Amino acid sequence: LDRAYAYAERCDQPVVWSKLAKSQLDALRIKESIASYIRANDPSQYGEVIDVASRAGKYDELIDFLQMARPQIREPVIESELMVAYAKTGRLADLEDLLNGPNIAQVQWVGDRCYDEGLFEAAKLLFTNVSNWSRLATTLVKLHDYQGAVDCARKANSTQVWKEVNATCIEEGEFRLAQICGLHLVVHADELEGLIRTYESLGHIDQLLQLLENGLGLERAHMGMFTELAILYAKYKPERIMDHLKLYWSRVNIPKVIKACQEFHYWPELVFLYVHYDEFDNAVLNMMEHAADAWEHASFKDIIVKVSNVELYYKALRFYLTEHPLMVNDLLAVLTPRIDHTRVVQMFLKSDNIPLIKPYLVTVLDTNTRAVNEAHHDLLIEEEDYHGLRGVIDQHDNFDAIALAQRLEKHELLEFRRIAAHLYKRNRRWKQSLALSKKDELYKDAMETARESANTDIAEDLLRYFVDGDHRECFAACLYTCYDLLRPDVVLELAWRHPGYMDFAMPLVIQLTREYLGKVDRMDQQLREVTEKMSKLEAGGLSQDGPIIQPGTFGSSLMITAGPGTAGTGGGYPGSQPPYPGSYPSY
């Protein structure tokens, strides 16, 4: 080859130089070969020259060859390889001139190759020339031109570019620029989780929270952003989660946030979410299970009335009885239309806390429930409130009256024994009522009981009791009270046989006399009218076969009935009037 070179120097003919260049290239004498091709001005073997020189890294020599070949052969590969050679040798000014001038190079391909080989400055020029903002943005990131990268990413408007620029800015601590990129990523639900993971893995929590907070105001803000921010607050800023939920509860994925609140034990927030998710049963259960943190009386009352499981009513009552006994009546007030009053009474009876719910018992008395009535009676007896007890038993009758009477007849207070007598009387237990009234010397009550019994024997037994006890005034009062029941012959006999009683019986005698005289006068008048009518009939010549006394005259009125001395079922005199008021005092 040396002798061939010397020969070529002497001949100095293109054909010789071309033959020499080919031989030198085959012998990998690249520099001499390219020089020989240039002497021969022969670019015909440009493909082989480019391939061998590129592998050998002889880009300076390759540039000379390509500059010689370019005017003669207009092929994209020649100009493309020339650009690569300029980039490899750092001749960026020549590269820029080539780009700015007319060329047919594959600029995008050259740019990708430069980027892959780490020639970022050259790649920057190439991508700028073809306006490939995506690749230019990633290139600028490699060159640490973050502001330029962000600008290019904005022009590219590609999620992947924003993602790459954002990740690089985070790693480099350029959080302002990272946030700009992040705001273009958070609006894509698919990218949100990865973005959060990137920030969390590097420990940039405050910057992540700031990014999501700023993103909430975007027009394209979606449910995932509100949800993930709530979860991040639960993890890192618990003092801010409740305010966030109150503002944006309708825009978060409630089940997902509920799961996070359960995991991190945020019980008030969990109750809030259950309520707004219409899970009222779970809300009530959570408030009771974590009362120290989650329970609040007003909220509990509002929620409990919305539950679907009625068993929670009674569980709530047990909870209040244990934790907040003084507020149990307030809870009962809102539950009154929904609960079984009998079951409630049994519950508090079992725990011996009936006095605690007295206001509730008074409120539901109008339901006339047996258990409620009896529990209220027990309270009134324990409080010795006989006025209240008397009023209640008269207004509400659904209770075991006999059992209550048997209980009260042994009470140490007179008024309660009096109520027992009243209960016996109301249940037609006349003898028991009278026995109590006699025992306690409640003679007026005894007389009223006898009168209400409408039984002659009972009234006369009471009259004999007064005579035997020498209660003369009571004897007289009984005659007035039981006037319709007493037989006059019995009364007169008792008065005659016991000295001093006739004066007290005299008003009765006077009254009876007045009644009978009135009856006789009426009968006499009726007889006269009948006689006159019969005379008129005879004078008119009417037949005597007809009835003498026509229906409706005085036949029924003159019917002879049992006399006052004859025992009858009703006693006294039919149609008789009571004594004149004021004829004798009543007791």
Residue 158, domain member (yes or no): no
Three-state DSSP class for residue 205: helix
Tens of pLDDT, residue by residue over 444-464, are 999 999 999 999 999 999 999
Q: Average pLDDT over the chain, rounded to whole?
A: 85
Q: Which residues contact 548 (CB under 8 A, 6 or more apart)?
A: 534
Query: Which runs of consecutive H residues, i.e. helices, occur in 454-577?
Result: 456-468, 472-481, 488-497, 502-539
Does residue 446 lie within any of the structural domains?
yes
Domain of residue 496, residue span: 441-525
**The pLDDT value given to residue 544:** 47
Number of domains, the chain: 1
Domain presence at residue 467 = yes
Average pLDDT over residues 9-28: 63
Distance, CA of 502 to CA of 497 (rounded, Å): 9
230, 232, 236, 237: CA torsion to nearest 10: -30
Q: Quick one: tokens of 547?
A: 């009835």
C-alpha 136/C-alpha 131 separation (Å) is: 8
331 closest CA partner among 293, 303, 352, 353: 303
Measured in degrees and rounded to the nearest 5, phi and psi for residue 308 equal -95, -25
- Whether 181 is covered by a domain: the verdict is no
Residue 215 has pLDDT above 90, yes or no: yes
State pLDDT tens for residues 220-256: 999 999 999 999 999 999 999 999 999 999 999 999 9
Instruction: Report in angstroms the alpha-carbon separations of 330 from 253, 353, 358, 458.
Output: 35, 15, 12, 52
The reply to whether 516 falls in a domain is yes
Indicate if the pLDDT at residue 574 is higher than 50. no
**Region for 279 from its dihedrals, namely left if φ exceeds 0, alpha if ψ lies in -120 to 50, beta otherwise:** beta
Using alpha carbons only, give the angle 405, 406, 409 rounded to the nearest 5 degrees: 80
Tell me the two tokens of residue 233.
């607050």
Q: What is the pLDDT of residues 463-487, one digit of tens each?
A: 999 999 999 999 999 999 998 888 9
The structure tokens 């801010």 sit at: 240
How distant, in Å, are the alpha carbons of 69, 177, 199, 206 from that of 203? 57, 17, 6, 9
- Tell me the C-alpha distance between 149 and 145, whole Å: 6
Length of the chain, please? Answer: 587
Closest CA to 215 of 205, 225, 203: 225
d(CA 360, CA 325): 13
Write out 117-144 in H/E/C secondary structure: CCCHHHHHHHHHHHCCHHHHHHHHHHCC
Q: Is residue 314 part of a domain?
A: no
Greater model confidence, 248 or 1: 248
Q: What pLDDT is stored for residue 9 in this prediction?
A: 60
Residue 480 maps to a domain:
yes
Residue 99 lies in a domain: no
Query: Which residues neighbour 142 within 8 Å (Cβ) at sequence distance 6 or greater?
Result: 115, 120
